[in-house]
Amino acid sequence: MTASKTTSSSDLILLACFAAAVMAGPVILAPFGAGYPDLLQKFAIFGIFAIGFNILFGLTGYLSFGHAAFLGAGSYTAVWTFKLFSMNPIPAIIMATAFGGVFALVIGFISLRRSGIYFSILTLAFAQMSYNLAYSVLTPITNGETGLQLVQTDPRWLDTTVFGRDYGSTLPSSDLFGITMTGYSGFYFCAVMLIICFYISMRIFRSPFGLMLRAVKTNQNRLNYTGVNTRPYTLAAFVISGMYAGLAGGLMAVTDPLAGAERMQWTASGEVVLMTILGGTGTLLGPVIGAGAIKYFENIFSAYNDTTLMNIFSFLPEGLQTGVVNILGLFVGDGWHLTLGALFMLIVIFLPGGLMEGVNRLVNWATARFKNKDDGAPTPEPAAS
């Protein structure tokens, strides 16, 4: 079975466009002030996180409020892999993905005994439990409030014995056979992961397995009476999305070898829910777009402060200027969440299908106009689906 046989040509085109857009990210996003590696890395990492979350929430409809637990667990696992084995990012992300999956298997096994709001609360409770444990009992593993860091005296067993690398007295950073995982090389490492993750998610969406997951969302009762045991399906979806979260956490540690418990907090779990809904739940591209949009706005709006606003509105008379700045000041800097909230409300009210619905509407509107102009000229059939 080869990929070309089982992936339809329209999907291959979508994948190719996606890969090209991601790889050209630094160029495409430069005019928007987002063409620098730190932010691009965030886009890619949170894109992976949201794609994984969408496999659970978008397909099965099970809303987890605890996915940050797997993200955090992935980060800790990656940093421990750096400390114990090697600074090479590959073992670190493999371990992070695997541990995310195992952790999700345990939490999912218990949480999936319930559905709807009870499931959401159970996952939230588990994530908050993990967060508090990371700060208290598990301090020997997590290093508590300070966060887990690399130190010079780490054993790095694989590096010393197999690769024969000695970092001397400098604190090493993660590197892939000599390429340091910071800046653009770090971004491209994350970008390749994002493309692989997108492809896997696409295959899941198009598979009979994915069809069963969508059936769980629309009518679980019927599916049971159709001879399908829904529990292993939802558990598999939960574990897969946990692995995505673990990988995302691992990549965070790859680009910045540090892990803190705040990554497990419920706000981080809530953020991935927002990303998925904002972009378009249950769509392939939506979660990536949602993740990008939120991280972009976070970056833009939180960078403004009262002084920059004062400069922007310096053309206004003084009294009015202070008034405008005082009001707008609430929406920027630390208050950028207010902007996010307003944006989210607008999207949910006017575009319930998220940004992807907006894109689809635009495409439909454009094709309708195009067809009218051509006045009945035969339109090319879309590639076989």
Please give the residue ranges that form the binding site for other proteins (CB under 8 A): 1, 5-8, 200, 203-204, 206-212, 214-215, 217-219, 221-230, 232-233, 236, 240, 385
With respect to other proteins, which residue has the nearer C-beta, 18 or 80?
Answer: 18
286 SS3 class: helix
Q: What are phi and psi of 78, to 5 degrees?
A: -65, -45
Dist CA 194 CA 177 (whole Å): 20
Indicate the burial class of 84 (C-beta count within 10 angstroms; 0-12, 13-18, 19 or more).
middle
With respect to other proteins, which residue has the nearer C-beta, 192 or 223?
Answer: 223
With respect to other proteins, which residue has the nearer C-beta, 8 or 139?
Answer: 8
With respect to other proteins, which residue has the nearer C-beta, 229 or 372?
Answer: 229
Minimum CB separation from other proteins for residue 135, in Å? 36
Minimum CB separation from other proteins for residue 383, in Å? 12
Distance of CA 75 to the CA centre of its chain: 14
Residue 43 half-sphere exposure toward CB, CA atoms < 13 A: 25
With respect to other proteins, which residue has the nearer C-beta, 5 or 373?
Answer: 5
Output DSSP code: residue 60.
Answer: I
Q: Which residue in 195, 176, 187 sits closest to 89, CA to CA? A: 176
Minimum CB separation from other proteins for residue 205, in Å? 9
Minimum CB separation from other proteins for residue 362, in Å? 22
Q: Do 288 and 47 contact (CB within 8 A), yes or no? A: yes
Minimum CB separation from other proteins for residue 250, in Å? 21
Q: Which residue in 49, 13, 89 sits closest to 248, CA to CA? A: 49
With respect to other proteins, which residue has the nearer C-beta, 51 or 68?
Answer: 51
Q: Do 185 and 254 contact (CB within 8 A), yes or no? A: no
Minimum CB separation from other proteins for residue 196, in Å? 14
Two structure tokens written together for 25: 């990210």
50 SS3 class: helix
Minimum CB separation from other proteins for residue 281, in Å? 12
Q: Do 86 and 262 contact (CB within 8 A), yes or no? A: no
Minimum CB separation from other proteins for residue 286, in Å? 16
Using the Cα atoms of residue 10, residue 12, residue 14 and residue 17 in order, give the sign of their dihedral. negative
Q: Do 96 and 78 contact (CB within 8 A), yes or no? A: yes
The DSSP code sequence of 97-132 is HHHHHHHHHHHHHHHTTS-HHHHHHHHHHHHHHHHH
With respect to other proteins, which residue has the nearer C-beta, 115 or 302?
Answer: 115
With respect to other proteins, which residue has the nearer C-beta, 216 or 294?
Answer: 216
